[in-house]
A and B are shown apart, each in its own frame.
Chain A
């Protein structure tokens, strides 16, 4: 089984990588939440994420827009 791709979100290239992050990618937030990207407006700022886990349990299964500086890592 192929290893999940790790997206490099740092530096100037990271802005473009974030802007084009595909639907289906998994992101982990600084607060430990994890979820799947369900939509990307491709504005370089936000992605819509459906949370699989979250420190606030009420957000699990919910969709929320995530700002780029809240993200720790992205794989997919």
Chain B
């Protein structure tokens, strides 16, 4: 696909990335036409995160989530209890049929002409639907249900969807990161799908392009010393307790920055070099919390006695799922684009669903202290993200490309994660991988051109 920048002549999307120099044009972050193409080329095709099943446990429960710039209703049906997702837009005139963030409902009624849909998305009524002088035989209700996502996946409690019927299965989409995500969704004792999410979750808007936090806030270790200097100096990074204990014996492991240029996923990575789990070390202020986690870690150690941990999760660092989801052992953070310079950030923080109240309280308090606009750590990040956009938008600023060269040429493939490029922890390998995938999506005509539907595709550009 070609972008036309009228003031500066026609340029192909590819020309905005100089893979040899390791630079990216700021146009990718500030140009509204490119943003519009991203919504069509990327957000209409990718698997996108919608939420967690613990948010909608009962028949009729719903949440309104987002897929790109559009709202979707995620609802548990009253009859078959299945989860489904629908575009929040009446088929008649496009009005939102649900104007609440979450709740429980029998039906979704459009407030315009009362077209009404059940929790399977079927049109079950319309105002004057039975009036002899209204629709008569012109409204076939079976043809006018809510628009349902093309594919929906409940992956160990996390909910995902895509608008594209041609998209590969969710597991194929994740590729070698499937086990990493599964591991992050386990409870601390290793039970699959053992988490629930705190409610309400954190949501706030960032006046920046979605790729600023979405592409480069994972595995960005060179920012921590400066951006979080004051928080670290105050000891707040150890805010769970009086400073984390040192383990009595090291657990053999290697840490890297990794990126899958074909899939776009990547981030921090820990390769564990032996079966089992690292020793639990005390880290909480609140009484009894360390006891709980020590006990659950012992249970997990039994489960993993002969298994090597996936390269993410507790202590393994966080990673990104293309295009805009960040996952780690206690959070799922995702970025919804609204406009080229406006992003909505949602953070779901997880906790063992069977944990006692004092443990849930401690984790919730920590999540509130750390995350969001009033969290002591992430407020630092937001100051950077928010000013990046206006400082990159001007006519002069746009002429200066971004530097993405950190570690370029030093990445290597590693058999432990096939297809994934492994590089030094402080490099920008994960960021470059996301742009390899970004370019592939922006140029592709359909999933037929894209890995893994096209098994022979190689999207790596640098």
Binding site for B on A (CB under 8 A): 31, 39-41, 43, 45-46, 48, 64-67, 69-70
Question: What 1/0 flags go to B106-149 for Cβ under 8 Å of A?
Answer: 11010000101000000011111111000000000000000000
Binding site for A on B (CB under 8 A): 105-107, 109, 114, 116, 124-131
A65, B105: Cβ atoms closer than 8 Å: no
B127, A39: Cβ atoms closer than 8 Å: no
Q: How far is the CA of A8 from the CA of B114 in the complex (A)?
A: 22
Which residue on B lies nearest to A66, using beta carbons? B125
A31, B130: Cβ atoms closer than 8 Å: yes
The 8 A-B pairs at the shortest CB distance, nearest first, are namely: A41-B106, A65-B125, A65-B124, A41-B107, A43-B109, A45-B109, A39-B106, A67-B127
A41, B128: Cβ atoms closer than 8 Å: no
10 contacts between A and B (CB under 8 A): A41-B106, A41-B107, A41-B109, A43-B107, A45-B109, A46-B107, A64-B124, A65-B107, A67-B114, A69-B128
Q: Would you give the shortest CB distance from A65 to chain B, in whole angstroms?
A: 4
Query: Which B residues are CB-close (under 8 A) to A31?
Result: 130
Query: Which B residues are CB-close (under 8 A) to A69?
Result: 127-128
A48, B106: Cβ atoms closer than 8 Å: yes
Query: Which B residues are CB-close (under 8 A) to A46?
Result: 107, 109, 114, 116, 125
B114, A41: Cβ atoms closer than 8 Å: no
Known: A31-B130, A45-B114, A45-B116. A67 touches B125 (CB 8 A): yes
Query: Which B residues are CB-close (under 8 A) to A67?
Result: 114, 125-130
Q: Would you give the shortest CB distance from B364 to chain A, in whole angstroms?
A: 31
| B interface majority secondary structure | loop
Query: Which B residues are CB-close (under 8 A) to A64?
Result: 124-125
Q: How far is the CA of A25 from the CA of B106 in the complex (A)?
A: 18
Query: Which A residues are CB-close (under 8 A) to B109?
Result: 41, 43, 45-46
Query: Which B residues are CB-close (under 8 A) to A41?
Result: 105-107, 109
Q: How far is the CA of A48 from the CA of B116 in the complex (A)?
A: 12
Q: Would you give the shortest CB distance from B96 to chain A, in whole angstroms?
A: 14
Q: How far is the CA of A65 from the CA of B115 in the complex (A)?
A: 11
Which residue on B lies nearest to A44, using beta carbons? B109
Q: How far is the CA of A39 from the CA of B59 in the complex (A)?
A: 14
Q: How far is the CA of A57 from the CA of B178 in the complex (A)?
A: 54
Q: How far is the CA of A64 from the CA of B130 in the complex (A)?
A: 11
Q: Would you give the shortest CB distance from B68 to chain A, in whole angstroms?
A: 28
Query: Which B residues are CB-close (under 8 A) to A65?
Result: 107, 116, 124-125
Which residue on B lies nearest to A33, using beta carbons? B130
Given A39-B106, A40-B106, 8 additional A-B pairs, CB 8 A: A41-B109, A43-B107, A45-B109, A45-B114, A64-B124, A65-B125, A67-B127, A67-B130
Q: How far is the CA of A50 from the CA of B185 in the complex (A)?
A: 43
Q: Would you give the shortest CB distance from A22 to chain B, in whole angstroms?
A: 14
Query: Which A residues are CB-close (under 8 A) to B105?
Result: 41, 43
Query: Which A residues are CB-close (under 8 A) to B129?
Result: 67
Q: Would you give the shortest CB distance from A37 to chain B, in whole angstroms?
A: 12
Query: Which A residues are CB-close (under 8 A) to B116?
Result: 45-46, 65
Q: Would you give the shortest CB distance from A15 to chain B, in whole angstroms?
A: 14
Q: How far is the CA of A41 from the CA of B116 in the complex (A)?
A: 11
Query: Which A residues are CB-close (under 8 A) to B131?
Result: 70
Q: How far is the CA of A69 from the CA of B114 in the complex (A)?
A: 11
Q: How far is the CA of A66 from the CA of B128 in the complex (A)?
A: 10
Query: Which B residues are CB-close (under 8 A) to A48?
Result: 106
Q: Would you give the shortest CB distance from A57 to chain B, in whole angstroms?
A: 16
Query: Which A residues are CB-close (under 8 A) to B130?
Result: 31, 67, 70
Which residue on A lies nearest to B130, using beta carbons? A70
Query: Which A residues are CB-close (under 8 A) to B128?
Result: 67, 69
Query: Which A residues are CB-close (under 8 A) to B107?
Result: 41, 43, 46, 65
Which residue on A lies nearest to B105, using beta carbons? A41
